Amino acid sequence: MTRFIVKSIGQRIVLLFFISIISHTIVHLAPGEPSLVDPSNPRMKAEDIQRIRTAFHLDEPLHTQYVYWMKDLFTAQLKSFKDNQPVLKKIWGRFLNSLPLFIVGTLITWFLAFPVGIQAALNRGSVFDKMGTFLSYALISIPGFFLSYICIIFMVKTFNVPVIGMRTFGLEDAGFLLRSMDRVWHWTIPAFMSAVAGVAILSRYVRSQMLEVINQDYIRTARAKGLSEDAVIYRHGLRNALLPFITMFGLTIPGLIGGSVIFETIFAWPGMGRLGFEAILARDFPVILTLNFVSAILVLIGTLVSDILYAVVDPRIKF
Amino acid sequence: MNETIHMQEAEGLKPSVSLLEERWRIFKRNRLAYASYLCLLLLLIVAVVGKVLTRWIIVFDSQTVRLSEKFLPPLTAFTSTITPEEDAPAFDMYLMGTDELGRDVFARMLEGTSVSLTVGFVAVGISVLLGIFFGGLAGYYGKKKLAFISVDTLIMRFVDIMLCFPTFFLILTVVALLPPSIYNIMIVIGLTSWMGTARFVRAEFLALREQDFIAAARSQAIPGWRIIFIHMVPNAIAPVLVSATIGVATAILTESSLSFLGFGVQPPDATWGNILADGKQFIFDAPWITFIPGFAILFVVLAFNLCGEGLREAFNPKLKEGA
């Protein structure tokens, strides 16, 4: 077991190295440089541009720039091109903002998807099942930003609640209850919106997984023993159907960055996705690269965790 | 050569129903999927007709600006006396209203249909070709060694690396850095979505490689590329095409998201994504500019998804029966 973990961590570090090289190359080879973001600015003279290029090592060959990036990253010296703040501190701050949204979204996803999927599987071919199937396809197919706009308009018009941003300005002195309610309202819609697609996809998986398990022999045996239907479904069926979802759980972690760009932009949520979006607009290479790097680390941690959990849960897997 | 095959088939070697026909029958039984298939065919015709109309017929011109006709709701008849007669919309009516520059939303939607579909199909085409290429190499030449590493390991590690990138963030980065153009978007979406296909093709090829007809082909000294493309690819293509159908849906969604963020297809070209993105500022005054493209995207993507799922069930009956 320990050997397996050490070995897969080693493999992942090698992968990470190649990922960093590829993303560095892509970002630096693409046209458009930090010094060219604002070409119409009359105060930017040729010598200023040259000074910026020298300060950011943009004149050096690619591999030297790569070494600079890596060295600065691991000594925590890496500074953003845009505002000269340490990149890691910036990302960490935004990470703390993204995290609650991600956790709430994930909880909504899993708590909605499982009951829906299980019910659909148990009542296969019923109206509920058919509606669920169609609805989940519809939810996968609707552009997230479109749904969010409809939702924002609906919520603001019907309930008259604030939804944009993380909190309402000017409420800092309000009572604790009012402040927390304000926070909850700000959370609700972005979390729901980022959960919608997840619910749709996951409930389909739960359904097919449950269907597969329910027709197995040991379920028939459990029924034949005279167990109550609940015990059959939840203790014998669901437990076995859960296995593949361990893998899926690991794979949702990278959603922290990639999936949130659109929603964080719409809801003006100061999270990692929005940081990435702003960095892209400003050609802020260190932030873009480090975000890419961080998200690759998240993916690799996710797959590692799910590999290990799989081995822990499923006794058939041996090393 | 062909004649002998036909003669052999006539002698009773041919099954009464070919595999494809049988699959097709299963697919047709799924009413939802079949209906969406018909819708997609219709959409394809609309896209081609729309392309022709907006390109050559002046009343369908999607870029005619009529500043006196801003924000007219759908189904408004053309009654303006200020706008010259030759700028009148088709059927003398704004079927879907006008936008903030008085452009006919119907004409823009028509133009956008072909652009959105082209983005979807070309992006998926690129990703399928790349997927077949890499998957085929890994599956067929997998055991060959390059220095110390086998081809299979090399390619599959590369696939792993590509899977670690946050796709949408990567697309956004590249599209934002490159000069904005519709071709860049198609290429970038294609380049970042071939990994699934490569895995499929590799798995199929690993199984096919051991089969007799491949051994027979090899014994006749047929070159490798010919075996791959003429003998193996047709046998491995079904799951690829199924996932490609769903890939088109994803590509259309990605393009509309990019347009929404302002990195998509640039004006004056219209796609559903950028009509929606332009319209969102006027969502209270002129909701139709947002809702028409929004629902169009929803229905088309839904049709692609349902159709793809129907095909998947038809080509993999175990999914339905075993469940």
Contact A141 B253 (CB under 8 A): yes
Q: What is the pLDDT of residue B323?
A: 38
- A268-289 pLDDT, tens per residue? 888 888 888 888 888 888 888 8
- Taking the CA of residue B162 and the nearest CA in chain A, the distance in Å comes to 8
Q: What percent of chain B has pLDDT over 70?
A: 88
- B7-33 pLDDT, tens per residue? 555 555 555 667 778 888 888 888 888
Q: What is the pLDDT of residue B123?
A: 94
Q: Does B75 touch chain A (CB under 8 A)?
A: no
Kindly state the average pLDDT of the residues A42-49: 73
Distance of CA B251 to the CA centre of its chain: 6
- Taking the CA of residue B157 and the nearest CA in chain A, the distance in Å comes to 8
- Give bridge partners of residue B149 from the DSSP assignment: B146
N-term to C-term CA, chain A: 6
Strands (E), chain B: 76-77, 93-94, 145-146, 149-150
Using CB atoms, which residue from B157, B164, B257 is nearest to A143?
Answer: B257
Q: What is the pLDDT of residue A264?
A: 86
CA distance B251 to B244: 10
Q: What is the pLDDT of residue A183?
A: 82
How would you classify the pairing of strands B145-146 and B149-150?
antiparallel
A-proximal residues of B, 141-180, CB under 8 Å: 157, 160-161, 163-170, 172-174, 176-179
Q: What is the pLDDT of residue A63?
A: 84
Q: What is the pLDDT of residue A102?
A: 86
Q: Given a cut of 70, is residue A83 above it in pLDDT?
A: yes
Is the reported ipTM for this assembly greater than 0.85?
no
CA distance B303 to A138: 9
N-term to C-term CA, chain B: 44
Return the higher-pLDDT residue of B193 and B142: B193
> Token pair of B97, please?
């209203």
Specify the DSSP element, H or E, that contains A314.
none
Q: What is the pLDDT of residue B322?
A: 40
CA distance B239 to A124: 26
- B209-255 pLDDT, tens per residue? 888 988 898 899 888 888 888 888 888 888 888 889 989 999 999 98
What is the widest separation between alpha-carbon atoms in chain B? 79
Distance of CA B199 to the CA centre of its chain: 19
Residues of B in contact with A261 (CB under 8 A): 168-169, 172, 261
CB pairs under 8 A between A and B: 124
Which of A183, A146, A179 is closest to B276 using CA atoms? A146
- A298-316 pLDDT, tens per residue? 888 888 888 888 878 777 7
Q: Does B12 touch chain A (CB under 8 A)?
A: no
- Give bridge partners of residue B77 from the DSSP assignment: B93
Using CB atoms, which residue from B167, B297, B306 is nearest to A137?
Answer: B306
Residue B218 and residue B227 in contact, taking contact as beta carbons nearer than 8 Å: yes
Interface residue of A141, A265, A281 to substitute, partner B, most B CBs within 10 Å: A141
- B25-70 pLDDT, tens per residue? 888 888 888 898 999 999 999 888 888 887 777 666 777 777 777 7
For residue A295, what is the nearest residue in chain B, using CA coordinates? B166
